[in-house]
Amino acid sequence: MSDWLKVNLTKDAAEAHWGDKALLSFTGNTATVHATERRRVQQAGRRLRSQGITQVQLGEGFDQELQWAFAEGFMSTLGGEQIRWAGDDAELDARLKVARWVRDITNKGPEQKSPQVLASEAASFISALGGDKVSYKMISGEALKDAGWTGLYNVGRGSVRPPVMLVLDYNPGGEEAPVAAALVGKGITFDSGGYSIKASEGMLNMKADMGGAAMVTGGLALSILRGLDKRVRLILCCAENLISGHAYKLGDIFTYKNGTTVEIVNTDAEGRLVLADGLLMAGESGAPLIMDAATLTGAAMTAVGSNYNALFALDQEVAGKVLAIASGEAEPAWPLPLEPFHQNECPSNYADTANSRPVKGGGAGGASNAAGFLSRFVPNGGKGWVHLDLAACFNNNENGLWAAGATARGIRTVARSLLDLA
């Protein structure tokens, strides 16, 4: 036990010799956090981990939520840290297990996680939790083309490692049980931008462009650990967006299974192209609740920063419920505009729509226009559909709250939505 630092929490200020605004003080092998506000407690966890401390025993003063805030700050990019809770807590154990998986798979380099590997690891993770309640299939390469999944096939065909659609069914209710919810995740395991190539600095962290796939997988996993008893379909659209003689090009026109034609004016607006297939697949399930998650646009991060995820919905009732859930789960989300007219904000002379506007970043309102594009591929006029643009799921560099890399911020929102809304 001597190797473990005990950490207590108090609302009282530190003694004067620690400084007027001291967050931490120390006595022997005990640290005291002088804060009760969530953000400050997370900062304390980050500071201690940055000092090289790897083992902590949380003690007096911590409630469940503040223990989790500390853990979010204490978790590191390279791992190796150990946390003992203030008492036995199955919920915190579940969050930690899932958050670590989401962070680890997102932080892996692109050579370590081809589309096939991402799909396989997600299926294995859920299968280990759900046992015989889980079944799945993978559609890969030319089979995607044959089945009509044109967006995923074309985005991924520039790589020698084929694109893959994972279709996983978690069904605790038997063959006749209806699908209560469908989750769709963007799984671009590396994004060069294609022929609309990114600058080197913009490409560096594109291993994380599969953050949406990791997030919805993690959300399903956490809901299972919380006792999910409803049938859920998980759809991951996994591909590498690379340049080659076989890659898709500007000016190409795709025809989707619902008849929508799309002109490609920016090969770096690929996420919405693969999600369109996933949303069509989700619609085929008949699920009344459809949630998709993606690191879709830089415009969302420009709008809300890296502390919030951006939320879009045509169905304002479900949007309000998910926003309330996000707030209750301490994973802030913020609504950005989405109206039916946003479907037509990327016009084309040659197809029903373009996949973006032919200007840097998609132009003004880029995040809303991307969501408007997706709304063409959801059933029932968007009733029951929510789109999360994950501005808060990854940090390029360490800061006072987070280690560099994935944050897993969003798993609790997805999990609670499945439990409460599906």
Q: What is the pLDDT of residues 174-191, one digit of tens each?
A: 889 999 999 999 999 999
Does 1 score more than 50 pLDDT?
Answer: no
Does 30 score more than 90 pLDDT?
Answer: yes
* Per-residue exposure over 167-206, b if at least 16 CB sit within 10 Å of its own CB, e if not: bbbbbbeeeeeebbbbbbbbbbbbbbbbebeeeeeeeebb
The helix/strand/coil state of 270 is coil
Catalytic residue among 108, 133, 161, 272: 272
pLDDT in tens, 303-321: 999 999 999 999 999 999 9
pLDDT in tens, 208-257: 999 999 999 999 999 999 999 999 999 999 999 999 999 999 999 999 99
- In degrees and rounded to multiples of 5, residue 164 shows phi and psi of -140, 135
Q: What is the pLDDT of residue 373?
A: 98
Catalytic residue among 38, 40, 198, 321: 198
pTM: 0.97
Q: Which residues pair with 175 in a beta bridge?
A: none
Confidence bin at 204 (pLDDT 50/70/90):
very high
Decide if 272 is catalytic: yes
Decide if 47 is catalytic: no
Confidence bin at 2 (pLDDT 50/70/90):
low
- Gap between the Cα atoms of 322 and 220, Å rounded: 15
pLDDT in tens, 76-131: 999 999 999 999 999 999 999 999 999 999 999 999 999 999 999 999 999 999 99
